[in-house]
Structure 1
Amino acid sequence: MQITYDPDANAAYITLTDKTGELETLVINDDINIDVLPDGSLYGIELLDADRQLQSDDRTLTVLNQLTGEELRLKLQPA
């Protein structure tokens, strides 16, 4: 999994797989697009207005392992 962030566009993209192929983009609403591979598997999620979507004023992403309770804080950097 990879998360990229473009501060100029205020957009984040979460890539979920290394598989490649022609993508179909499903527009969920004005702020969320989902890319699906031909086999129906999820390729990635685009978050527009990412600061609000990620609820982060300081552009920090927190990854929480719900099993262990461990927390990892990542500073979002320009792509």
Structure 2
Amino acid sequence: MILTIVGRADQNNPKSTWEVLGRALYSMVLEGLIEETKLDHFNLPYYTPHAKEVTKVIEEEGSFSLQKLDTFEIGWD
């Protein structure tokens, strides 16, 4: 079985494209395009695990064995 999961490369830095979205939305508040209260109540839960976290969960759960784990980055340019 092959699973593809969106994750993050740096274990200590959870910044992602979602941070870019957050900054863009906040800029829209500053420009008066979005009400700040609407932004404050906007919630889009999303988590990108690091490869070590995925490995730990798979090993602790026990239903699967991990034979190989590869990571790769996709350029946004």
What TM-score comes out, normalization by structure 1 length?
A: 0.26
The structure that is helix-richer by fraction is 2
Which has more strand, going by share of residues?
A: 1
**Pair member with larger Rg:** 2
Structure of greater relative contact order (alpha carbons < 8 Å, 6+ residues apart): 2
Length-normalised TM-score, structure 2 = 0.27
